[in-house]
Structure 1
Amino acid sequence: MYLNCHTWFSLKYGVLSPQQLIDEAKKNGIQKLALTDIHNTSAYIEVARLISEQSVPLEIITGIEFRRDNKTAYIMIARSMKGFELINRHLSRLNSLKEEPELRAPQLEDSFVIYPWSQNTPSSLSENEYIGIKPQQAHLLYRVKNKQLIDKGVILQPVTFSSKIGYNTHRLLRAIHHNTLLSKLTPELQASPDEQMIPESELLKYYWQYPKIIANTEQILENCSMDIELGTNKNKKQLNNKASDHNELRTKSLEGFRRRYEHYNSYAMERLLKELDVIEKHGFESYFLITLDIIEFARHKNFAHVGRGSGANSMVAYCLGITEVDPIELDLYFERFLNPYRSSPPDFDIDFSWQDRDEVTKYIFERHGSEHTALLATYVTFQGRSIIRELGKVFGLPKEEIDKIVREPDRYANSDEISGLIFRYGKRLQDMPRNLSIHAGGVLITEKPIYTYTATDLPPKGFPITHFDMFSAEDIGIHKYDILSQRGLGHIKDSVGLVRKNKGVSVDITRTDKFKKDEKIRALLREGRTMGAFYVESPAMRMLLGKLKCEDYITLVAASSIIRPGVARSGMMREYIYRHHNPDDYQYLHPKMEELMKETYGVMVYQEDVIKVAHHFAGLDLAEADILRRGMSGKYRSRKEFERVEEKFFINCKQKGYPEAIYKEVWRQIESFSGYSFSKAHSASYAVESYQSLYLKAHYPIEFMVGVINNFGGFYKTEFYFHEAKRYGAIIQAPCVNTSEYLTSINGKEIHVGFIHLKSLETKLAHRIVSEREKNGKYTGLQDFIERTIPGPEQVYLLIRIGAFRFTGEEKRALLWQARLYYGKKEKSKTKLPGGDMFHSKMKTYSLPDLDHIPFEDAFDEFELLGFPLCDPFLLLPENSLLPLAAKDMPRYLKKSFSITGYLVTIKNTRTKDRKSMFFGTFIDKNGDFFDTTHFPNTANKYPFRGAGFYNIEGKVVEDFEYPMIEITKMEKVPMVDRDKLRQQTLSINGVN
């Protein structure tokens, strides 16, 4: 009897999770209901999955509640999957047009329509249209003479929450949605307090006089049936036809094999044929061919790309050129990629440059059609501090009080009634979906139209997105293609172009086999000089490479994985480093562990290790081992299934006669992966890209750093990439209207800072400066520039201050005088067309007083306008404040006190096991060398970081695997020289009072 049930996917309206809705149905003895979220179709898959897993005697039918002006216009319920598709198309059309529904529903086959009884209820109804009578309205029917109302009436008891607390939570969500105080939330903007589920017997009491209404409601429920098939493959099954796809995949794989493996390898051929057989058995040919088609489009467009994901475990993928990782070389585990028990296709992540990804996505939509293609959604959920801020606002707290609660939640949790309510209801909002968003890269390509399974939204990016997330997509059997973007590929591509332009050299960036043997790259890795290089530039990674003395591909692949939190926190990262340097000074947990993981010294490092150990050590079958792997990687939702496999792991180990201490330690290591495990194929793919970056840095460091700067995606602030370029001999030039481009450019060893880095420069003017110069030649002076580009006065002033007119040979202050005098004249301030006057009047010159130039004036302007100075920042320290020691002195002070002045680069926040805050700092010293610091909780609280700038640091030098760091005992910020004091000193020296 329930035709209008909401879950929390009725965003900022419903409060029941799918599980809670099922629990309500069980509690009230409901065996069939209509799931009709407001403008959303996401919940039905998860509800169906939970019903199946828990064997709940509950059937669901699906539909959508359409609203206009915050009121229900009508509810559409699907009689079948065909009806559901048509309803989804209707909502998708409205979403794409950004329109609200009309008050009258469209006529769609295989669907029912219910209009709530109100003054807007249509006077005449079609056969499939009904009027919803709410329980509190039933007693009014005796006064109504309209026979149609009874004949076409149905029970309409919306379900939105399950208790008074749920109702209060709903009201808070509505206040958040409408950005209003809870006290000002009007009844029209919220549900009625009685929108709860009650037993059918109680519900029917309201309608005992109207059997026709009861019969109509039963008829709708009986005539609707949804065939929701979970788990069956719904991806596009054929690129052409099955036989053609099979032949094409086999032919192209064998061609690639001959190209990849010049010397015939019988083992490799045997493995390739085995993979092809498994792929054919599962019917995944089209998945590979569609991915290959995307790669071939990228090659045709000369787009940089990297194929990774578990598909990189596959020889087929390597032979097709989808990935550049050789699974034979790395002994990648085929069963991690695909095994006979796996029903889902392998996971291909294809990374493109952030500049190219949208064009690739557009191609996929055009190639496969918008009927069958959509981007995958994800849900932004209510979390932590944002909940406190939202609830604080609707309760009417001032911002200052909300900030206090956010900063010190433990202190204010129950300090008064309002804060108590914030934390009480905050727990109910935690993890609740807040709004629909776009998955980082998931693209779905389905055999049937996408509307068979979901309605779509159309975000500003212009590509439609589903209403369900990756978990529900997998549950129903639609598996994504990950089309991702990253800045690393962008800086590689741009760097190659800069090398060609600046040095006339064409770099073949695909020669990673050559790069792995390059001595210059080996030195960068060994010494941790990897700033700018993809995936290996963070302070933690530089430190790890230094500790490992990493020189080779295999070690770099391992490093990419052991730095992940799971391995690091379990203590196995440190153990790996120790065993790497002391290969004869440790014992394997068990001979089987030596056999399985000799390459990683018996330490579980990769997801593949979990599968190997679960299968070969604990005797789980490959399907069970994959369940374990998925659970540890945070991608599996069935805790019940996971717990069953976990239990079997211990039973099997005990039956095999392993000592309890051994198999418990093996499980501890597996468990440490939880949520953080990393595929070896992923690591290997990342390492290939790291080698490409490192080759460019080793041989063309200045061009490489400009490529990194222009892609704005590195670990560090832009300032430090300019700093790194200077260390390799670059000369950094401030923006100049006659030499700079919009992006940073290079000429020989000179790097010209791009206009994009000027904080307040208008983008249109920046582009106009370049285009006008290219069209009509260089600017001859300030007046010529103004008359040709027509900038506002403030724009000219900041260009003067950054030194963009230094080619004139005039001082900044003289130029500022000229500009102010020019703009001060009314006739010169009138709007002009670009191109200037037909007759140029020469700017008058005036006799100006001597203008004193204070030391470091340019650096202060650069700080203000760029955010960093282009000179050595240490020149801006006051006299006698620079401590004498440098980073290179640290090895001589091992376990001794050490004092140094550092310029802050970055900070990493973390917590100790007892949840206390601590930090790791990275600084540069007076010579431009990096050094790292550790700030344990006691000193972190006593000597906190106080923003960017200089710090005098005292501490003890410690060493971990020959990598020195400073354990902080004291730290204080050092102010830079004062600009006003310098000006006064300069004026005083020159005799000006």
Structure 2
Amino acid sequence: MYLNCHSYYSLRFGTFSETDLLDLAEANAMEVVALTDINNTSACLNFVRHAKKRNIKPVIGIDFRTGAQQHFVGLAKNNQGFKALNAFLSQHSEQKLQLPDVAPPLANVFIIYPFENVLQLNKKTFADHEFIGVSITDLRKLRFSTLKQQQHKIVLLQPVTVRDKKDFNAHRLLRAIDNNTLLSKLEKTEECNPLDTMWSLDELNIAVAEFPFILKNTKALLDQCEIEFGFDDQRDSQNQKLYTDSFENDCILLEQLCRDGLPKRYANPSPKVHARLKTELDTIKSMQFVSFFLINHDIVSYAKSQGYFHVGRGSGANSIVAYIIGITDVDPIELDLYFERFINPFRASPPDFDIDFSWKDRDDVTAYIFRRFKHTALLATYNTFKYRAVVRELGKVFGLPKEDIDKLSKNSYTASSLDDISKLVLKYGKLIEGFPNHLSVHSAGILILEHPVHCYSATDLPPKGFPTVQFDMNIAEDVGVFKFDILGQRGLAKIKEALEIIAENRPELPPIDITNVAAFKKDPKINNLLKSGGAIGAYYVESPAMRGLMQQLQTQDYLGLVAASSIIRPGVSGSGMKDEFIKRHRMPEKRKEAHPILYNIMPETYGVMVYQEDVLKVANQFADLTLGEADVLRRGMSGKYRSLKEFEAVEEKFIANCRKKGYADDLIFEVWNQIKSFAGYAFAKGHSASYAVESYQSLYLKCYFPLEFMTAVLNNGGGFYSAEHYFHEARQQGATICLPCVNTSDHPNRLIDTSIYLGLGYLKNLEAYTIKRLLTERQLHGPFKSLDDFIDRIVISIEQLTILIRSNAFRFTNIPKVELLWKAIFKLNAKGKDTIQSKLFKTEHKQFTLPKLDNNWIENAYDEMELIGFPLCNYFDLVSEAMQDDVLASQMHLFVNKTILIYGNLVTTRFNKTSQGKLMRLSTFVDKNGDYFDAVHFTNVVHQFPINGLGIYACYGKISDRFGFYSMSVVWSKKLAILQDPRNS
């Protein structure tokens, strides 16, 4: 009997989830209920799915409103009606159109106008699909209205927005947040009615006793509505089913692509290659995934035609078909990749293809996909209210002072010190926490569908400019909509730009084949960068933890890098198996400690579970689970199980089967806990291998073209470290770092011979328009001859010119910058005025005689810190305290288990948790020679000796040796003072 129910996807209005709505319907014995969220269809598919499980008939529609003002409610008679509603809402949402007061005719849609709106519109006639909706509070007015003569058109439009007083209070708070107003100033028109609740059938009958036709009409309307989507076992893939005009031609095309690509990947294919290829093709055809492969191939082919680099990863990287036709660059034969991880007869969804492009190229690839395929949209994700944020919002709504809000949001209070308002903030903060706040765009997901997008959802048009559905990936998969993952990353941009810099600066060299990864893998110089920790700047392998791990493992080949990139993940580390793997890798005698069955299953990793495939292998071969059950286990460990009961049943079978095979409980639960602790974080082996391919490409460039590579790294947003540190690394590789120059610098950094000129874009507060004018003028009319020449040619304010002068960008004039500053002030009159157009004729500049004005290197260092964020001099030169005799990082191996002092320039620091959940800090420094060392502040000293920002620290601690990787356990540390700016003394 309810035609107008809201979930909390009526954003900042509704107060409970779509499944809570079904709980409410069950409690009130409702056999049918309609979900009509406000200008939103996010919950519709999940509502339909769960309603049918509870034997409640679902009806879906949309409550069309402007703010809180309701225009009308649209109910879908069927799937075509849902499509029409979605298209209508999307048109208004995407084009920012006002919703009309009267709905246009929409096929297979019922329109219900609220009673008050009908009165205001003075609407007298109603089409077959139009109705008048009265709420319980409207009934007293109906008695005296001429509309009661329209008996056959009147239905019950009782909104369901809240369940009780607590919900109503939460609703008012959400409305105040939405309106950015104090709760006390919230207009009543912005709220729902406190009676907008679900009444029982008996209560409804009593309420409408005077108008018995109302419930009859309402039931008749609901009886005509029927919505169908296939879910769970009944779902059918909704992705584009055909790439060509028929399934047969799709199969022929995929086979042809494999025939054409096979010689390029395997010069002399072995019987194993042919057998694997046939098995995969047969499985792909039988499971109707042919178009999925062809669409991914199409996307990658377009990218290649534009000269874009890509990396294909995900479980699809385990596929020889994907390798042969160029979606991935990982050879599954070389790596013995587990076919069943990629695809198996029990898997309902297609394999995952995560295709990475440069962050500069991704938008064009996305635009191509929208041009190329007919029914396309981006996938949504929900931004929810986080606890700290919602407490801040509620604090403002209640009018609390900022100090009180800060205390509440940071949990820095005692319960006894809280007043009643603060207690309300915390109470409702907990209630609202986790509610959807607004829709956003999924970081990678694109939908390519068989039917129009509006069959499933309304769409929005976010700033990216591509239509975006209103549901997330979990709902998408439930209904058979499987996303294509198109990601942007900076690592590929670094590789591409490094190659461009090499081609421009060193034209005498032949073109570099960056795809020749097979040669890179065998290059001892490149592999030495891995085992020596020299991978700074290289994608995915440059972090302190990764470099330390590779030094412990002495990683010096591709397979070793693949393993390292997986065991660094939290799960393997957390289970203790990372340390066990290192021991067994470095000390062959330790391999005897592995259980023989596990060692036999995973000989390459010495009986240690490292990859997601290992979960499948162990479950299948150790516990005799079927591959389907094993995949349920793997997905469940990743938090992706569809049914908790199904997962628990597999867990029970795992244990029961192991006991039946005679394994001791100690062994069973040791293996089970290993699976449980890491499977949710581990990579598929093919995924790790894909990253390793890109890492080798970066390492090749770092090894043979370090300055070009480091320039490209800096120009593409760096990576794990700060820009300052990448400049340090470039300096270690032989570069001279130069401040910006108006005649030499570009917007990004520029490499000339062995000098890297900082880009003008590094100068804080230098406006983009200033840089654009400067570069355009220089390109059109040549370098600037003097400060006067610059002022004549560039429209610029004194503030902007001051930034350039203080950064020494006019050093080609050989005039001290202090003198240039005074001249600039005199010439521009220091009024902060700048003309809007350049001068038609050059005016003669007055010349001023100034006393000798000098500045020293300390002043320059402070200018650099202010203008670019760091000084170009050595931080050690700025230290004002006397330093004691210390040890260098290269000497740490001589002091194992001894306490020593090292002075270090902080590179990076982060907090971490011990296995007991206590706080610790991990920091990386460089010593006086520029060499790295790592230091750990354990729980006993982490608060006593804090790290307070960048600078030089005296680090005193005990040196430990972990398989040749040396680090310090800090006993005490202290930040050293630096020289003061003489201008402030």
TM-score range for the pair, normalised by the shorter chain length: over 0.9
Which residue matches 1:103?
A: 101
SS in structure 1 at match of 2:264: helix
Q: How much does 1:277 deviate?
A: 0.6
Aligned-residue sequence identity (percent) comes to 47
Whether the 8 Å CA contact 1:68–1:102 is kept in 2: the answer is no
Provide the C-alpha distance between the structure 2 equivalents of 1:588 and 1:138, rounded to a whole number of angstroms. 80
Aligned-partner Cα distance in 2 for 1:644–1:409: 44
CA contact (8 A) 1:414 1:420 kept: no
Q: Does 1:562 align with 2:567?
A: yes
1:116-127 paired onto structure 2 within 5 Å: 116-118=114-116, 119-121=119-121, 122-127=123-128
Paired position in structure 1 for 2:243 = 239
* Separation in 1, partners of 2:606, 2:325: 32
For the residue of structure 1 that corresponds to 2:527, the secondary structure is helix
Kept in 2: contact 1:533–1:690 (CA 8 A): yes
Question: Cα distance 1:830–1:415, how it changes in 2: closer, same or farther (>3 A)?
Answer: closer
Instruction: Report what 1:580 is aligned to.
Output: 585
**What is the alpha-carbon distance in structure 1 between the residues aligned to residue 884 and residue 193 of structure 2?**
69
Residues 1:114 and 2:112 aligned together: yes
Asked whether the 8 Å contact 2:797–2:834 carries over to 1, the reply is no
Q: 2:885 & 2:195 partners in 1: Cα distance? A: 72
2:408 to 405, 408, 433: 405
Give how far 1:177 is off. 1.5
Q: Is the 8 A contact 1:608 1:679 kept in 2?
A: yes
Aligned to 2:174: 173
Which residue in the other structure is 2:321 paired with? Answer: 316
What SS class does the counterpart of residue 234 from structure 1 fall into?
A: coil
Q: Is the 8 A contact 1:67 1:73 kept in 2?
A: yes
The verdict on how the C-alpha distance between 1:611 and 1:825 changes in structure 2, with shifts beyond 3 A counting, is: closer
Q: Confirm or deny that 1:769 pairs with 2:771.
A: no
**Are the equivalent residues in 2 in contact too, given 1:744–1:751 (CA < 8 A)?**
yes
Equivalent residue for 1:989?
A: none
1:966-977 paired onto structure 2 within 5 Å = 966-977=968-979
Tell me the alpha carbon deviations over residues 231-251 of structure 1, each in whole angstroms, 9 at most, x when there is no partner: 210000001121111100011
Residue equivalent to 2:217: 216
TM-superposed deviation, 1:882:
6.5
Aligned to 1:201: 202
Deviates more, 1:283-292 or 1:397-406: 397-406
Separation in structure 2 between the aligned mates of residue 764 and residue 413 of structure 1, nearest angstrom = 55
| Alignment length (residue pairs) | 976
Structure 1 position 143, deviation (Å): 1.5
Cα distance between partner residues in 2 of 1:745 and 1:906: 26
- Report how far residue 409 of structure 1 moved: 4.7
Write the distance in 1 (CA, Å) between the matches of 2:416 and 2:806. Answer: 50
Q: Deviations over 1:577-628 (max 9, x none)?
A: 1111112224455433122111111111111111111122112211211111
Residues 376 and 469 in structure 1, CA contact (< 8 A), matched pair in contact too = yes
- 1:54-82 Cα deviation digits (max 9, x unpaired): x3121101111110242111110000000
| Segment drifting more, 790-799 vs 914-923 | 914-923
The Cα offsets for residues 475-506 of structure 1, whole Å up to 9 and x where unpaired, read as: 00010110000011111110111111122232
Confirm whether residue 86 of structure 1 aligns to residue 84 of structure 2: yes
The residue that corresponds to 2:469 in the other structure is 466
Tell me how far apart the structure 2 counterparts of residues 730 and 560 of structure 1 sit (CA, whole Å). 30
Aligned to 1:918: 920
Which 10-residue stretch deviates more, 200-209 or 551-560? 200-209
Whether the 8 Å contact between 1:882 and 1:901 is mirrored in structure 2 is no
| d(CA) in 2 for partners of 1:643, 1:49 | 22
In terms of mean alpha carbon deviation, does 350-359 or 504-513 score higher?
A: 504-513
Note if contact 1:66-1:72 (Cα within 8 Å) is conserved in structure 2.
yes
Change (3 A) 1:423 1:554: same
What is the Cα deviation at residue 861 of structure 1?
Answer: 0.8
Shift in Å, 1:149: 4.7
User: How much does 1:637 deviate?
Assistant: 4.1
Is the contact between residue 521 and residue 695 of structure 1 (CA under 8 Å) also seen in structure 2? yes
Alpha-carbon distance between aligned partners in 1 of 2:706 and 2:191, rounded to the nearest angstrom = 61
Larger deviation, residues 240-249 vs 10-19: 10-19
Gaps of 5+ in 2: none
CA distance in 2, matches of 1:646, 1:430: 32
Distance in 2, Cα, partners of 1:409 & 1:687: 45
Shift of the 927–785 alpha-carbon distance from structure 1 to 2, 3 Å rule, reads same
Distance change in 2, residues 1:528/1:830 (3 Å): closer
How far apart are 1:148 and its partner, in Å? Answer: 4.5
TM-superposed deviation, 1:825: 7.8
Counterpart of 1:939 in 2: which secondary structure? coil
Question: 1 CA distance for matches of 2:176 and 2:548?
Answer: 48
Query: 1:904 touches 1:924 (CA, 8 Å); kept in 2?
Result: yes
SS in 2 for 1:741: coil
After TM superposition, list the pairs within 5 Å mapping 1:979-990 onto structure 2: 979-980=981-982
How many angstroms does 1:906 deviate by?
1.1
**Which stretch has the larger CA shift, 942-951 or 569-578?**
942-951
CA distance in 2, matches of 1:191, 1:886: 69
- Is 1:517 the equivalent of 2:522? yes
Of 942, 945, 967, 2:944 maps to 942
Q: Residues of 2 paired with 1:405 and 1:574: CA distance?
A: 41
Shift of 1:7: 1.2
- Structure 1 residues 331, 164: CA separation in 2 closer, same or farther (over 3 Å shift)? same
TM, length-normalised to structure 2: 0.97
Give the letter aligned to residue 582 of structure 2: I
Answering whether residue 438 of structure 2 is matched by residue 440 of structure 1, we say: no
Match of 2:16 in 1: 16
Q: Find the aligned partners of 2:54 and 2:694 in 1 and give their Cα distance.
A: 49
Q: Tell me the secondary structure at the aligned position of residue 146 of structure 2.
A: coil
Structure 1 position 413, deviation (Å): 8.8
* 1:393 to 2:391 alignment: no
Distance 1:178 1:563 in 2: 46
Residue 590 of structure 2: SS of its match in structure 1?
Answer: coil
Q: Are the equivalent residues in 1 in contact too, given 2:567–2:682 (CA < 8 A)?
A: no
SS of aligned partner of 2:943: helix
Distance across 2 between alignment mates of 1:12 and 1:915: 36
Whole-Å separation in 1 of the counterparts to 2:544 and 2:422? 39
Q: Deviations for 1:913-932, whole angstroms, at most 9, x for unmatched residues?
A: 44332110111111111111
**What is the DSSP-based 3-state SS (H/G/I as helix, E as strand, rest coil) of the residue aligned with 1:380?**
strand
Aligned pairs for 1:623-772 (under 5 A) are 623-772=628-777
Instruction: Decide whether the 8 Å contact of 1:68 with 1:103 is kept in 2.
Output: no
**What is the TM-score normalised by the length of structure 1?**
0.96
**For 1:744 and 1:89, how far apart are their aligned partners in 2?**
47
Amino acid at match of 1:529: G
Supply the distance in 2 between the matched residues of 1:358 and 1:935 (Cα, whole angstroms). 43
The reply to whether residue 831 of structure 1 matches residue 829 of structure 2 is: no
Residues 537 and 718 of structure 2 are in contact (CA less than 8 Å); yes or no, is this contact kept in structure 1?
A: no
Distance 1:423 1:842 in 2: 69
CA distance in 1, matches of 2:111, 2:875: 70
Residues 825, 473 of structure 1: CA spacing in aligned structure 2 closer, same or farther, 3 A cutoff?
A: closer
Q: Tell me what 1:145 maps to.
A: 146
Deviation (angstroms), 1:883: 5.5
Matches of 1:629 and 1:701 in 2, distance apart? Answer: 41
In the TM superposition, residue 4 of structure 1 has moved relative to its aligned partner by 0.9
For 2:812, the equivalent position in structure 1 comes to 807
Corresponding letter in the other structure for 1:747: I
CA distance in 2 between partners of 1:123 and 1:980 (Å): 84
Alignment equivalent of 2:61, drawn from 63, 83, 89: 63
For 1:833-852, list aligned pairs within 5 A: 833-834=837-838, 836-838=839-841, 840-852=842-854
1:374 corresponds to which of 347, 372, 377: 377
Within 1, Cα distance between the matches of 2:317 and 2:95? 41
Supply the distance in 1 between the matched residues of 2:833 and 2:187 (Cα, whole angstroms): 52
Alpha-carbon offset, residue 562 of structure 1 = 0.7
Over 3 Å counting, the alpha-carbon distance change for 1:148 and 1:780 in structure 2 is: farther
Alpha-carbon distance in structure 1 between the residues aligned to 2:313 and 2:675: 23
Q: Note the C-alpha offset of 1:832.
A: 5.0
CA distance in structure 2 between the aligned counterparts of 1:412 and 1:568, rounded to whole angstroms: 38
Instruction: Give the deviation of 1:408 after TM superposition.
Output: 3.2
Structure 1 residues 271 and 647: CA distance shift in structure 2, 3 A: same
The alignment partner of 1:26 has SS state of helix
Other-structure match for 1:183: 184
Helix, strand or coil at the partner of 2:460: coil
Q: 1:251 to 1:812 in 2, by over 3 A?
A: same
Cα separation, 1, equivalents of 2:881 and 2:977: 11
1:414/1:23 CA distance change after superposition, 3 Å: farther
Q: 2:885 and 2:379 mapped to 1: Cα distance?
A: 55
